[in-house]
């Protein structure tokens, strides 16, 4: 009986450790180093995120095969328009083939800035899509979250305005 209790305790501890590892890896936005991300526009020209310095910046790491990402993109396009007075720059980044991203860009017209990451997302620590970050005009990260959010919610829009004013 004692041996069974010990085995059960070991199993429970193991499951808890694995759960914490999985949660931290897949449900917590990774600390990313923006200058380290090598980006190009969809014409293959290098793009530096420094080009957005001095303005609030929203980064969305997404995948075209991700259902929640594809549902979120139209909301992000609307959010960009709603926050145009705040000069929010909204940049969507994917590590997928440029041909696929060109088709998506054509669908959205000029509503979204879509960039290509030369590095695989897993190499920079992104495992869950979408992963979103917002930086204020000073370059301070003021928001980070994995999984989609309700970008059409008026409370969320007010919250973003407050965050980027900090």
Q: Are the C-beta atoms of residues 149 and 60 closer than 8 Å to each other?
A: no
Q: Name residues of the chain where pLDDT drops below 70.
A: 1, 9-11, 14-36
Q: Tell me: do 36 and 69 sit in the same domain.
A: yes
Record the pTM.
0.83
Q: Tell me: do 52 and 9 sit in the same domain.
A: no
pLDDT the model gives residue 1: 55
Q: Tell me: do 85 and 11 sit in the same domain.
A: no
Q: Tell me: do 18 and 95 sit in the same domain.
A: no
Q: Tell me: do 24 and 64 sit in the same domain.
A: no
Q: Tell me: do 57 and 139 sit in the same domain.
A: yes
- The CA angle 146-150-151, to the nearest 5 degrees, is 100
pLDDT the model gives residue 124: 86
Q: Tell me: do 73 and 46 sit in the same domain.
A: yes
Structural Rg of the chain based on CA atoms: 19
Tokens of 92: 């969507």
Provide the residue range defining the domain that includes 19: 1-30
pLDDT the model gives residue 49: 87
Instruction: Compute CA 26 distance to the chain's CA centroid, rounded to the nearest angstrom.
Output: 12
Q: Where residue 113 sits, what CATH number does that domain have?
A: 3.40.30.10
Question: Who's near 96: CB < 8 A, 6+ residues apart?
Answer: 63, 64, 116
| Reduced 3-state DSSP string for the chain | CHHHHHHHHHHHHHHHHHHHHHHHHHCCCCCCCHHHCCEECCCCCEECHHHHCCCCEEEEECCCCCHHHHHHHHHHHHHHHHCHHHCCEEEEEECCCHHHHHHHHHHHCCCCEEEEECCCHHHHCCCCCCEEEEECCCCCEEEEEECCCCCCCHHHHHHHHHHHHC
d(CA 63, CA 27): 16
Domain count, the chain: 2
């Amino acid at each position: 009986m004692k041996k069974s209790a010990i085995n059960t305790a070991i199993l429970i501890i193991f499951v808890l450790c694995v759960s914490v590892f999985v949660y931290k890896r897949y449900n917590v936005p990774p600390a990313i180093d923006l200058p380290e991300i090598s980006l190009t526009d969809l014409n293959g020209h290098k793009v530096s995120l420094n080009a957005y310095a001095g303005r609030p910046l929203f980064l969305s790491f997404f995948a075209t095969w991700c259902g929640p990402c594809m549902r979120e993109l139209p909301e992000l396009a609307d959010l960009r328009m709603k926050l145009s007075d705040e000069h929010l720059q909204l940049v969507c980044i994917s590590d997928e083939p440029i041909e696929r991203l060109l088709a998506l860009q054509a669908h959205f017209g000029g509503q979204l800035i879509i960039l290509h990451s030369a590095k695989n997302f897993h190499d920079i620590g992104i495992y869950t899509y979408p992963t979103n970050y917002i930086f204020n005009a000073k370059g301070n990260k003021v928001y980070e979250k994995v999984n989609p959010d309700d970008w059409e919610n008026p409370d969320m829009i007010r919250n973003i305005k407050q965050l980027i004013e900090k």
